A and B are shown apart, each in its own frame.
Chain A
């Protein structure tokens, strides 16, 4: 069954806006920031032209934006915002409270590298800095995947066994402004796919069951401590339940709309591979091209793309990794304390939990808008292959990243 109603050409920000429009949010709050601004401007246009019945509130900063959305969500609204880099940083205080309040918001992170040094370009340092704040983190590779995932995100967030906020990540510059062909699904089909909205059943404004939302909890007495732990455990359960829900929702999407997207991890040409590259976000296309080129020369390499990053799909990553003998993990962010990329750390932990031991290299590239080209991935493939050949019992080695854009040369 194909509910395709039309095909347009648009950039990733507009694709996200189409996904939001089709999800029919009630309240959208925003503060402009590069490279997000055109996304919510597109939504404002939809509202002004009578195509979307929603409130668009431009507020005085991201801290107010997320606070306003908390109020709206508590009052029963389906909510949306989008931000980038420093905007996410300024949002941090309400951001960390949203998962604990179990508010099923959807927010796009149009990923931007973090200051300082000052920069306005793409990179994933923004989201990686908040990766363990309790939001579900999903990363897209194409504009079509952005549109489809935004809609799916509402169903994941509002699932009664999840009730957690979702960030749909798309890379600033490459995805936000890159133009491609996008299929727009039919509104009635999306309405049926999302079902009745019910975002505040757990914190209802209901005179029949009055409640205090978020009272002071915890403390030194045993009862308070146990209650606090119960909240934390509940949030962790929601996260783990989300793994299955994300898979179900993606399967249902493929069934209804005929487009299959990997739910947790995408395996590309992995079945007979001796080595694999692990990627996340828009870089994956160049990595797949590089894998194709290497295979044409007889190198058996595949790509493991992380689609769902939080909750981290430990079993899916380990299952994919078990097919190869060495991995090269490419990050667009830095974990300063570990001297490696953040995805690299997660992959190591997944391998350990599955009892796997193999050489794994940390590559860091694409910082502050730097281009990650096929040549960079060819280099990563060659180095990972060399690591496989040189593997000994001491691997993986202590982290020491390979910086892909450090030589200052444009690589085509």
Chain B
């Protein structure tokens, strides 16, 4: 390495576990202490993700976790897999690039409702229809937490605690499930941070699904939305197996109160992976352009 290039400060983590042994949750957590508020749902998402990766038994050097900006986008630093904390709203674009360059990696994107549905909403639509084989953990607390409590696209229109919208946002919230189905997603599940074991199972199912999988996580912000503590009583499991056709999935959306957890939809759709063509040789061009004299 050249002296003119200052390497990023090394992050000290535990030595890698043996590759042939069984993995534990701790193998996928870093030594960095999260700076989330006490009681934040994102702690449980971290636990569920580590549990899922341990269960899948994928060595950490075969997993990449990409995030944007926001409280929940701090997730990569707290894991021991490859991580990158990218530009606000662009986690899915970054993750797509990683997957195309390294199809062998298990690629996971993570972020919040602000990062993924507001400033990055555009990418959410196109990730759903592109169907790259990766998993998106969308941590939804219906508020911009990092900038201290403004309404997000999933905030109810009558929430009047946001300092930017003291009379409520006044517009209909985005429903991630409806948005994803309309954009052509091939897998959609909803989990709850307060139930990390179920969430870990959903993440495993999402990673195993061949294509783009959305794991919508209800992850309470106890600082700016203390009333979300009641989500524990509100959540209830989805009844029945995952829908495999759009009509059933749409019917499930219509019946959904926003607190149903489980796999709503999983359909077989070919994942996006452009076929790599052989690089043309000089002789290929010769056939087209050379003229016999």
Contacts and interface: CB of A to CB of B under 8 A. Distances in A.
Interface in A274-289: none
Contact of A32 (B147, B153, B166): B147
Contacts, number: 49
Nearest to B153: A60
Contacts of B69: 86
A33 B114 CA distance: 12
A61 B150 CA distance: 13
B163 A31 contact: no
A60 B118 contact: yes
B166 A60 contact: no
Contacts of B88: 86, 90
A48 B169 contact: no
Interface string A31-75: 111100110110011001000000010101100000000000000
A118 interface: yes
A38 B162 CA distance: 12
Contacts of A60: 118-119, 121, 153
A41 B161 CA distance: 12
Contacts of A32: 144, 147-148, 150, 164
Contacts of A41: 150, 163-164
A34 B147 contact: yes
B164 A58 contact: yes
A340 B147 CA distance: 33
A31 B165 CA distance: 12
A44 B163 contact: yes
A173 B236 CA distance: 45
A33 B148 CA distance: 10
Interface in B101-146: 118-119, 121, 144, 146
A40 B87 contact: no
A168 interface: no
Contacts of B147: 32-34, 37
B169 A58 contact: yes
Interface residues of B, number: 22
A242 B118 CA distance: 37
Contacts of A33: 147
A30 interface: yes
A61 B118 contact: yes
A374 to B, nearest CB: 30
Nearest to A45: B166
Contacts of B150: 32, 37, 41, 58
Nearest to B171: A58
B158 interface: no
B169 A44 contact: no
B151 interface: yes
B169 to A, nearest CB: 7
B140 to A, nearest CB: 16
Contacts of B148: 32, 37
B145 to A, nearest CB: 11
Interface string A13-39: 000000000000000001111100110
B167 interface: yes
B89 interface: yes
A33 B167 CA distance: 21
A61 B119 contact: yes
B66 to A, nearest CB: 14
B216 interface: no
B190 interface: no
A208 to B, nearest CB: 36
A270 to B, nearest CB: 39
A58 B151 contact: yes
The 5 closest A-B pairs by CB, nearest first: A32-B147, A61-B119, A48-B166, A41-B163, A60-B118
13 contacts: A32-B164, A34-B146, A37-B150, A41-B164, A58-B150, A58-B165, A58-B169, A60-B118, A60-B121, A60-B153, A90-B119, A117-B8, A118-B85
Given A31-B119, A58-B151, 17 more contacts: A32-B144, A32-B148, A33-B147, A34-B147, A40-B164, A41-B163, A44-B163, A44-B164, A48-B167, A58-B150, A58-B164, A60-B118, A60-B153, A61-B89, A61-B118, A61-B119, A90-B119
